[in-house]
Amino acid sequence: MATLSDRVFFFCFLSLLACAAINGQLSPTFYGSTCPNLQSIVRSAMRQAVNKEPRMGASILRLFFHDCFVNGCDGSILLDDTSSFTGEKSAGPNANSARGFEVIDTIKSNVEAACKATVSCADILALAARDGVVLLGGPTWTVQLGRRDATTASQSAANSNLPGPGSSLSQLISSFAAKGLSARDMTALSGAHTIGQARCTSFRSHIYNDANVNASFAALRKQNCPSSGGDGNLAPLDLQTPTTFDNKYYQNLVVRKGLLHSDQELFNGGSQDSLVQQYSTNPAVFNGDFTAAMVKMGNISPLTGTKGQIRLNCRKAN
C-alpha cells in the first residue's frame, strides 16, 4: 500500500507534468499516442512533392522561416486573407514568392484522414521543412512538436519582421537577435540558400550596383536579369548545386558569388567572415550549427496549451 509520502510525491509529479503542458514546452513525442504515424505521413507527401519539383524543398523551408519570424511559429503564414484581416501572404517579402501552400494542404489532408483534429498546421510545416532538407541531401534533426495554430495573421508584421535581400550585415544580425538568434545562428540559417531560386527583383541591385561581386558571375546573372523588366525571372541561390543541400553556398560567398546582397554581406570584411570560411571547408560544422539553429528557430513564441487552435484547414481558422 502506498505511503502518504508516496502519494504526495506522485501528486507533485503529475502537477509538474500538468505545468509543463500548460507552459507549453514542445516535445518530439507530443503526438506519440494521438498520431503515431504523423512523421511517416509527412515524409511520404514531401517525398512526392520534392521528386516532382526539387525546388519545393527550399520553398517549404522558406515558408517555415517566414512563419516563425512573424509572431512565432504559429502557421499564420498559411492563412488566406479574410474580411477581418489582411494576412502575411500578400506582404512584400511573400507576395509572388512564397509558395508550397498546396503541398501543405495535401499533407494536412493526409494527416486529418489519419488523426482528425489532432495535429496543427504549424507542426506540419515544421516537419515538412525538416523533411525537405533531408530529401535534398541535407542533415536531419529532431523536430520539437506541440505548437498550435494562430487564428489571425498580420501583413504589417510580416513587412516589418522579415529581413530583406538588401539587408546589411548589422541589419541581419539585429533582426535575428530580435528573435533570440545569435549572429552564428543567422549565418548558419542563411545556408538554407544552398537550395532554391530567387527572383530577379531580389538580386538585380546586387549584380548591377555592388562592388563586392565577381564580374563574370554578375555578367552571367545579367543574362537572365535585365536592368529593368523580367522581375520574376529566376536564378539559383547556389550557383554550384542548387538542388542539393550542402556547404557550396559558403564556397560561393568566399569567391564573391553570392546571389543576394544580404548573402554577400556575410563575407565582406565583417564579423562573420571567419565563420563563412569555416563552413566553406567543413560541412560537418555547418550541418551541426544549421540543425541546432533550426531547432532554436522552431521554438520562437509557439502557441501551446490552450492558446490558438488546431485548424482543420490550414488556410482558414475553424
Say what the pLDDT of residue 66 is: 98
Q: How many domains would you assign to the chain?
A: 2
Question: 110, 134, 162 — which closes off a domain?
Answer: 162
Annotated binding site for Ca(2+), which residues?
Answer: 67, 70, 72, 74, 76, 88, 194, 238, 241, 246
CATH code, 47: 1.10.520.10
Whether 66 is catalytic: yes
- Whole-number percent of the chain with pLDDT over 90: 92
Residue 278 covered by a domain: yes
76 phi/psi in degrees, rounded to 5:
-70, -25
Question: 162, 180, 199 — which closes off a domain?
Answer: 162
Residue 52 structural domain: 37-162
- pTM for the model stands at 0.92
In the predicted model, is pLDDT for residue 17 greater than 70?
no
pLDDT averaged over the chain? 93
Q: How confident is the model at residue 143 (pLDDT cuts 50, 70, 90)?
A: very high
Q: What is the pLDDT of residues 93-115, one digit of tens each?
A: 999 899 999 999 999 999 999 99
Judge if 110 and 175 occupy the same domain. no
Q: How far is CA 200 from the centre of its chain?
A: 21
Are 272 and 47 a contacting pair, CB within 8 Å? Answer: no
Q: Out of 66, 147, 148, 221, pick the active-site residue.
A: 66
In the predicted model, is pLDDT for residue 70 greater than 90?
yes
For residue 96, give the C-alpha cell: 509572388
Say what the pLDDT of residue 165 is: 97
Annotated binding site, which residues?
Answer: 67, 70, 72, 74, 76, 88, 163, 193-194, 238, 241, 246
Question: 141, 162, 183 — which closes off a domain?
Answer: 162
Say what the pLDDT of residue 233 is: 98
Annotated binding site for substrate, which residues?
Answer: 163
Judge if 254 and 157 occupy the same domain. no
Cβ-in-10-Å burial (0-12, 13-18, 19+) of 261 comes to buried
10-30 burial code (b ≥16 CB/10 A, e <16): eeeeeeeeeeeeeebebeeeb
Say what the pLDDT of residue 71 is: 96
Average pLDDT rounded to a whole number, residues 182-196: 98
Q: How confident is the model at residue 25 (pLDDT cuts 50, 70, 90)?
A: confident
